[in-house]
Structure 1
Amino acid sequence: MFSYQALGKMTQIGKHIKKELYGMSGSSKVYTYYEGCSDGGREGMSQVQRWGEEYDGVIAGAPAFRFAQQQVLHLYPATVEHTLDYYPPPCEPKKIVNATMEACDSLDGRKDGVISRTDLCKLKFDLKSLIGKKYYCAAETSASLGFGFSKRQAPDSQMRNTPEQSGTISAKGVAIGSELSDGEPTYDNKTDKWTLNIPSTGGIYVAKFIELLDLGNLDNLNNVTYDTLVDWMDTGMIRYYDGFQTTHPDLTTFRKAGGKLLHYHGEPDPSIPAGSSVHYWKSVRSIMYPKLSDEEAQKAFSEWYQFYLVSGAAHCGVNSLQPGPYPRNNMNIMIDWVENGKQPSRLNATVSPGGYKGETPMLCQWSQRPLWTSNKAFKCVEDKKSIESDQTSIRFPTQMTSPDENHGLPASPNARPQRSRAGCRTCREKKVKCDEIRPICRRCTRLNLVCDYTRLPRKKYTKRIVVVASPCTSLPVNPTTSTNGDTASTPSTNVSSGHGHYVEEVDRISLGGSVSDTRASNLEVQPPNTNIGQSHDLDLSPDCADILFPSDYSAIHFFRFVLPGMVGTRISPHSGPGLVWKLAQKSPMVLHMVCAISGQQWSEKAKFPDAEVDFRKLRSIQHYRDGLQMLAAVTQSPEEITNLPPVLATLWLMLLYELKFGDGCGSGFDAHLRGATSILLGKLQTRLSSTIDAENFCPVSCRILVWLSHADGGAVLNGFGGAFNSLLGGTSYAMTETEGQARLERIRNLQQRSALANYDLWGRSYPQTELLEDLQCGSLSCLDAECGQLKFMVGALASAEYRDDTSHESWRRSVADAIQSVRGRYRELVSVSNRLELPDDGPHRRFVMELQTVISCFHAIVVCFLRIIHGNGPMVSEQRETMKEIMSLAFKVHRDQGDSGLARILGLGKI
């Protein structure tokens, strides 16, 4: 895909540069030409198909159309030999090719060592006639051998199209008389026998691109059948259709722009079958001129698209077996056609080897074929019988709807049934087989991938329901702004609470996005279309089950099985979202927020009809409001809270909601941080303490407190927040060296106490492998927690210096000492992070992913601090080295994990 985009962009840029370089006016014409063969021919065709308006002339030789079929086709001869358990010595296929040339050379009217009419050769020469014929191989101990049926069958099969069924084929085979180099075996000196040789041209493609294995070639062809080859072709076609197939037949843009196309292909090409080019020409004709007669279509075609079969030519060059002509003056012909209007009727070619060396026959434009009338002259004729001998169409995979290449051709009645669609989307998007084990399939478990079983709606529903007004739908028309432009209040405005400060703050929260008028009683929505949640035991308490709509189940599934991979490195039911879900099973307050945030995200991720998107967003806001009401009721008297984890989890989910769907200014985020602070402060006052100490909280609460600390630290870096992290200090923002170390020690103690949070929640059902992973990641988790405090310290320093317009030297030294303390404590982790490569799977994969994320965060904090110290001056060496570490880690993460991994190291939605 990159190549065809790069070529198109390069052409556009090149035109502009040429005009600037040569001082040409904007209206001056810049002629653009392209010439290439093989892969270059395919790229030329990609430009015609996708950037047709940019080119005046394109010359495409032996284009590698249908890359999937073509590459797998290289394995077809070896598969034939392996299936028949017969490996002919190299001389045998050569003898058969020579016998074919001898039989078919004169069918074009002249005996010159070139098969110019492979069409007639197929009709008039039968390879079975070679059975019993004697031949000699110098490498054999026997002086004379005979072609038996099985011996003849191997090369015969190799020259046919790949498996035929009901008039359709999977790929065009090489032409009769072509060299059979893909079928050459290898000689085993130990056994003194010819054995299987797997051509790397096909083996590498299948290993790396189809089976997704890091191998240089296939090891063997055990259990590989003809159906296996077809499956590989289908997989490659579906997976790489956009980039490699290059078979779009509608060339209207190119034609209307005045482009000219010369397309040629060696008829006995042993690498890319010429039949592939013939088939494409036919496809373009059926699309561009469906209603014209053959004669009219040929005339219209000749004005802009001319296709030539080159008799005897090999792949992009002359043929050592057949001394035929080859076109060598294509660009001059094209320039004359484009710039001077001299339309060629035939293509100039030159014979370089053989007895007719120097001869310059003018090749016939397809669909005409050459017929020699003497040794010096030939004419181009239409041979309908030969053309009709090949009316097979290339079978299209049943998993795809043919875009247009087989347009108008009847579907095969024996088309294979579609593959199962019950697998997870993670496997299906990779085009690999899924074992369909729920909730997480074995492949996703082995590779530590997000196992996404959510289902996207395939079409709109015709049945409609009406959502009538209810106590849950008394929201303002637009929760973001009122009609006069002022910020509207959220659902929390109707809550009366004795905990005045927090309620006053949350009154100012504004929810992102607009929804329909929720007071209207005639809102039509599509009915919920999934029962994913009901297919699994959610183990909800009765109070929790009562608050759910059917549409909430898909949002819950998204939260449990998709969200973990988006916000963290642990992809299992025991991830951060998994811990919150465990609390939500018994707490309606937490469940409301689970449905609020996952409902919003799922409505954006899935392609629902507009009405259902509005309904799901409305439900999310209702869940947000109801959760906020419950939270306000619970926190009226913080000292009376007996079960703190659900309260903290609800607060965390509200922060996450505001981060993703808030007003963009952080007002709601800041309000919830202040609310968390006031709730905790009220709780601490009952213990006559003003700071957060790990001994006062259970492991689950400690885990969520660390999350909140991280969130508050990030807020401080952005100019707000800070109240929560102030509880970890002894005084105020301004900190001494002693206070900075105390903060780090307190957060480290919280993290260490939270190490067994999952075991406390799940008990003995918590997997031992994950418990060991928790222990392995212990030091790394402490570093992560301390990074949250470093973010707070650096952000507080920046805010203070900006506010006071002066440098706080003692404060700077305290922060620098804290950073050095953390670096020294975790020196091994920091130094090894850029030296580790991500394993494909296994117990260490999560550790490496987590290490890259945490160390990236640490380096980013250092960069922020150095920016405060050095201002806008030139970068010092420490800044350069730190930036180099960040960029190196980011490159590795993006290479191994893609955009999702890069988003994770940026800290988007960290849990």
Structure 2
Amino acid sequence: MLYPALLSPCLIALLAACSSAPEKPVTDTPVSTPQSCTALRTFTLPAAAIGLATRGARVTATETVAASGEGAKAIGAYCKVSGVISPVDPAAPAIRFQVDLPAQWNGKALMFGGGGYDGTIPDVAANVPAGAATQPGPLGRGYATFASDSGHQANATTSRDGSFGSNDEALRNFAGDALKKTRDAALAIVTAHYGQRPARVYFAGGSTGGREALAMASRWPSDVDGVIALYPAWNAVALNLQFGRMTQAMAQPGAYPDAAKRKLLFDAAMAACDRLDGVADGIISNVDACNARFDPATASLNGKPLRCEGGGEGGDGCLSDAQIAAFKVFSTPLELPYPLASGETRYPGFNTWGTDWGMGTGGPFQAIIQTLGLGTEQPANPMPGVSSKGSPPYHSTFWDQWVRYFVTRDVNFNPLALDPLRPGGYQARVVALNGLQDVNQTDLSAFRNKGGKILIAHGTADALVSTQATRQYLGRLQKAMGEQQLEGFVRYYEIPGYGHVFGTAFNASWDSLTALEQWVEQGKAPVDQIVVDTTAVPGRSRPLCPYPAWPQYRGSGSVNEAGSFVCVGR
């Protein structure tokens, strides 16, 4: 936190100006003689060359990396560049970034988004989120790739560390400013190395990175040509308030279910809803019908009621009333009695039934799925720590950090004491954070007019960002721009069975980057897209249906082939 008494009046004035000043024009880096990887070690960039206020950027290290891998994993030799962007506020952390410059450059660049509270630099040699396992990632295709930690360095809790939120500049950087600063610094390095600016710039990210993708398209439409946004947490503040509601429900006595009870709920939902798409294939594709039909209070599994007799705790073979009530909080919307800065007053419920909340079985990703789900410890005050031995629900730690560092800025504040519906004296702060953190601009005419394209995809079994919220975003775009105009530059797909980053019933692999390239560069809109499972039944495929359509079994043919399904409901 900044203490004005310790700062000079000039610095205070400077910081105030930076917090409210509009984006300033960028002085384009002139095209010049290409600089070698070694020569880039002394590269510096003045503040005037970055579109938002900084004290400039500099390269801190370079390394020539040899070619590696085979097939789709092959990556040619490249120059790895590390750098920092200096903050205006001396108390704020720097933005640390990395740029990978392939020896065989395709003339394009791609920026990766982060995840959670960010705080680490994403692997810019990796594939895009849920990218095609059989196709090279961006660096392997010859893209110059780059990303940053969004302006702070996380502690051992990594993406759950929100302590940076006590500093205004660090918070603004996380909310979006670091995207512009990183993009400008990275492209200056790309231009210096190759002697020319990239012909195309794309962005790919999931969760927070998905929010960042949409922020790039809305805030800086001239800076990117296309974005891939997976499970985007676009309305972060409303989501955080829903996290608070979910956390407080799970903190009630007897409400927290162990892994065995989570599996019981998953199995019961699968038994009730799997065939609603025409075939029992281990995937709930008709999600809306399942949400309307399934009720854990009246459901049964293997001929036995799911609810414990009398509603009390009855062991791992049933769910108590307290546990059912907590899960129903997850599946129902947060309804705020006050409007946020964007005007919204709700966050929709999750597709709770058929979602793996961390049931301890079901494939190689179960450990991370459990971490991203309900964890291993009940939420409490103080919030249990995150370690290799266990952790509370991911959403609970996220809420805890947001309450203590973003909202109250009181490290000792009890996160269970702040009512998301009635935050009292903190309501104004919550509303203000909505204006800062969320991607609320829904008129994307500038991005559309320049030929920009947006691909959005979201798994229906996501335990951290609701697909119903992404539907809400799409609805806002349609209202602002019209469905016909939206069809020309936006596609949204829901992937049945896919979770947040990973999936138990279906782990998605989709060649979204090729689809985006063809749409932007050749004018070929994506049609007949296919998504492939890499874990539950490796190699099985489904049609990727443009929302609101979903894949229904045709009645014949292999249940593992996309051709046996047809998109219905559009």
SS at the partner of 1:280? helix
Partners of 1:54 and 1:346 in 2: CA distance: 29
SS at the partner of 2:297? helix
Q: Given the superposition, is the C-alpha separation of residues 159 and 2 from structure 1 closer, same or farther in structure 2, using an over 3 Å criterion?
A: same
* Deviation sequence 1:391-438 (CA, Å, 0-9, x none): xxxxxxxxxxxxxxxxxxxxxxxxxxxxxxxxxxxxxxxxxxxxxxxx
Which of 1 and 2 has greater Rg?
1
Partners of 1:266 and 1:68 in 2: CA distance: 21
* Deviation sequence 1:576-596 (CA, Å, 0-9, x none): xxxxxxxxxxxxxxxxxxxxx
Equivalent position to 2:399, from 198, 202, 205 = 202
- Give the letter aligned to residue 548 of structure 2: S
Query: 1:179 is matched with which residue?
Result: 356
Partners of 1:267 and 1:145 in 2: CA distance: 26
Write 1 or 2 for the structure with the bigger share of strand.
Answer: 2
Q: Given the superposition, is the C-alpha separation of residues 67 and 141 from structure 1 closer, same or farther in structure 2, using an over 3 Å criterion?
A: closer
Q: Given the superposition, is the C-alpha separation of residues 8 and 100 from structure 1 closer, same or farther in structure 2, using an over 3 Å criterion?
A: same
Q: Which residues of structure 1 form unaligned runs of 5+?
A: 189-194, 290-296, 384-911
Query: 1:351 is matched with which residue?
Result: 533
SS at the partner of 2:457? strand
Count of residues in correspondence between the two structures: 355
SS at the partner of 2:471? helix
Partners of 2:283 and 2:404 in 1: CA distance: 37
Partners of 1:229 and 1:158 in 2: CA distance: 20
Note the C-alpha offset of 1:52.
0.8
Q: Given the superposition, is the C-alpha separation of residues 339 and 94 from structure 1 closer, same or farther in structure 2, using an over 3 Å criterion?
A: same
Q: Given the superposition, is the C-alpha separation of residues 235 and 329 from structure 1 closer, same or farther in structure 2, using an over 3 Å criterion?
A: farther
Query: 2:493 is matched with which residue?
Result: 308
Q: Given the superposition, is the C-alpha separation of residues 237 and 48 from structure 1 closer, same or farther in structure 2, using an over 3 Å criterion?
A: farther
* Deviation sequence 1:299-341 (CA, Å, 0-9, x none): 542321111111111112x312x1x251342212211221222
Query: 1:2 is matched with which residue?
Result: 173
The correspondence of residues 124-523 of structure 1 with structure 2, limited to 5 A, is: 124-130=293-299, 133=305, 146-163=318-335, 170-177=346-353, 178-180=355-357, 186=377, 199-215=396-412, 219=414, 221=416, 225=419, 227-228=421-422, 235=428, 237-289=430-482, 297=483, 299-316=484-501, 318-320=502-504, 322=505, 324-355=506-537, 357-374=538-555, 375=559, 376=561, 377-382=564-569
Q: Given the superposition, is the C-alpha separation of residues 161 and 23 from structure 1 closer, same or farther in structure 2, using an over 3 Å criterion?
A: same
Query: 1:856 is matched with which residue?
Result: none
SS at the partner of 2:547? coil
- Give the letter aligned to residue 172 of structure 1: P
Q: Given the superposition, is the C-alpha separation of residues 247 and 133 from structure 1 closer, same or farther in structure 2, using an over 3 Å criterion?
A: same
Partners of 1:67 and 1:244 within 8 A in 2: yes
Higher relative contact order (CA 8 A, sep 6+): 2
Query: 2:225 is matched with which residue?
Result: 56
- Give the letter aligned to residue 356 of structure 2: E
The TM-score with structure 2 as length reference comes to 0.55
Q: Given the superposition, is the C-alpha separation of residues 9 and 207 from structure 1 closer, same or farther in structure 2, using an over 3 Å criterion?
A: closer
- Give the letter aligned to residue 416 of structure 2: L
Identity of aligned residues (%): 21
Note the C-alpha offset of 1:273.
1.4
The correspondence of residues 490-889 of structure 1 with structure 2, limited to 5 A, is: none
SS at the partner of 1:309? strand
Q: Given the superposition, is the C-alpha separation of residues 268 and 196 from structure 1 closer, same or farther in structure 2, using an over 3 Å criterion?
A: closer
Partners of 2:443 and 2:495 in 1: CA distance: 25
Q: Given the superposition, is the C-alpha separation of residues 225 and 341 from structure 1 closer, same or farther in structure 2, using an over 3 Å criterion?
A: closer
Note the C-alpha offset of 1:361.
2.3
Q: Given the superposition, is the C-alpha separation of residues 231 and 307 from structure 1 closer, same or farther in structure 2, using an over 3 Å criterion?
A: farther
Note the C-alpha offset of 1:78.
3.0
Partners of 2:210 and 2:228 within 8 A in 1: yes
Q: Given the superposition, is the C-alpha separation of residues 145 and 111 from structure 1 closer, same or farther in structure 2, using an over 3 Å criterion?
A: closer
Query: 2:263 is matched with which residue?
Result: 94
Partners of 2:281 and 2:220 in 1: CA distance: 42
- Give the letter aligned to residue 157 of structure 1: V
Query: 2:165 is matched with which residue?
Result: none
2:240 is equivalent to residue 71 of structure 1? yes
Partners of 2:202 and 2:225 within 8 A in 1: yes
Partners of 1:142 and 1:309 in 2: CA distance: 36
The correspondence of residues 10-25 of structure 1 with structure 2, limited to 5 A, is: 10-12=182-184, 15=187, 18=190, 21-24=193-196
Partners of 1:88 and 1:325 in 2: CA distance: 24
Note the C-alpha offset of 1:242.
3.8
Partners of 1:345 and 1:365 within 8 A in 2: no
- Give the letter aligned to residue 186 of structure 1: E
Partners of 1:124 and 1:135 in 2: CA distance: 16
Partners of 2:399 and 2:415 within 8 A in 1: no
Partners of 1:231 and 1:53 in 2: CA distance: 40
- Give the letter aligned to residue 125 of structure 1: F
Q: Given the superposition, is the C-alpha separation of residues 23 and 165 from structure 1 closer, same or farther in structure 2, using an over 3 Å criterion?
A: closer
Partners of 2:472 and 2:490 in 1: CA distance: 14
The TM-score with structure 1 as length reference comes to 0.36
Q: Given the superposition, is the C-alpha separation of residues 150 and 253 from structure 1 closer, same or farther in structure 2, using an over 3 Å criterion?
A: same
Any runs of at least 4 consecutive aligned residues in structure 1 with deviations exceeding 6 A, and if so which? 140-144, 195-198, 229-232
Q: Given the superposition, is the C-alpha separation of residues 250 and 47 from structure 1 closer, same or farther in structure 2, using an over 3 Å criterion?
A: same
Partners of 1:220 and 1:11 in 2: CA distance: 35
Query: 1:657 is matched with which residue?
Result: none
- Give the letter aligned to residue 221 of structure 1: L
Partners of 1:78 and 1:258 in 2: CA distance: 42
Partners of 1:325 and 1:360 within 8 A in 2: no
2:281 is equivalent to residue 112 of structure 1? yes
SS at the partner of 1:364? coil
Partners of 1:15 and 1:30 within 8 A in 2: no
Partners of 1:275 and 1:50 in 2: CA distance: 24
SS at the partner of 2:455? strand
SS at the partner of 1:75? helix
SS at the partner of 2:298? helix
